[in-house]
Structure formats: C-alpha cells, structure tokens
Amino acid sequence: MQPLVVAILVGVPLAWLVGFAAYAYVDAPKHGMDRRKWALITFVVPLFGLFAYLFERDEQSYDPSEDPYAGGSDARKAGLAVHERRRGEKPLGPAGTEADDEADAEDEWDDPPGVDVDES
C-alpha cells in the first residue's frame, strides 16, 4: 500500500481523536470536571466518549433557576410546569376529551358512555 494512503487512513482518524481529547482536556476544568479522565475517555472510546463528555458537561452546568420550565408559583401548586400560553386552558381528560371533574366526583372509574357495571 502507498505510504501516503496509509498516512491518510491512520493519520486523519488519529488527528480527530487527538482533537476530541484536547477539547475535553481544555474544556473540562471550566465545568468542574477532571480533565485527565475525560481526555482519556474521549481518546480511547472514539466518538461515544466525546458525546458522553458533552452530555455529562451539560448536566454539570444545569441551573434550575435559569430554566423557565423548572417551576414557578403555578407549577409548584400543580406539580408540573406549564408553558405560559397554556396556563388558562382547561385540563384534558381521558383520550383527549375535556375533563369534567364535577360529574366524575362520585365515580371512582371513568367508564365510557354506554357501559353499565353491576355493583353487586
């Protein structure tokens, strides 16, 4: 095989791996992570190591106070976050139908219309 072809087939992937490792080595301390560990992981485990580093880095830098969907006064009462445009809407019931909480207050189960259940 030609030496130029071998240099390209080996050199280009090796250069990418070194680049990924260098990026992790320089960027990891900014997020409070061990630079040697992540540089080694991104070099030894091609491509997956870089994605693992990027996902772990994002989890390290998450701040719930900056997240608009992490909570608020209405979301804490309801137990879930609601987008601002959806705050005044009526909640949905089973299968996308509108919930009628007053009618179902005495029923434990929401049976479809026409289904009779004997309570014996």
Structural element, H or E, at residue 89 = none
Nearest to 17 by CA among 41, 52, 53: 41
- Look up residue 80 and give its DSSP letter: S
Q: Are 50 and 20 in contact (CB under 8 A)?
A: yes
pLDDT at 31 over 50: yes
Q: What is the pTM of this model?
A: 0.50
Burial (0-12, 13-18, 19+ Cβ within 10 Å), 87: exposed
pLDDT at 47 over 80: yes
Q: Are 57 and 33 in contact (CB under 8 A)?
A: yes
The region of weakest confidence among 32-36, 42-46, 73-77, 88-92 is 73-77
pLDDT average, residue stretch 3-11: 90
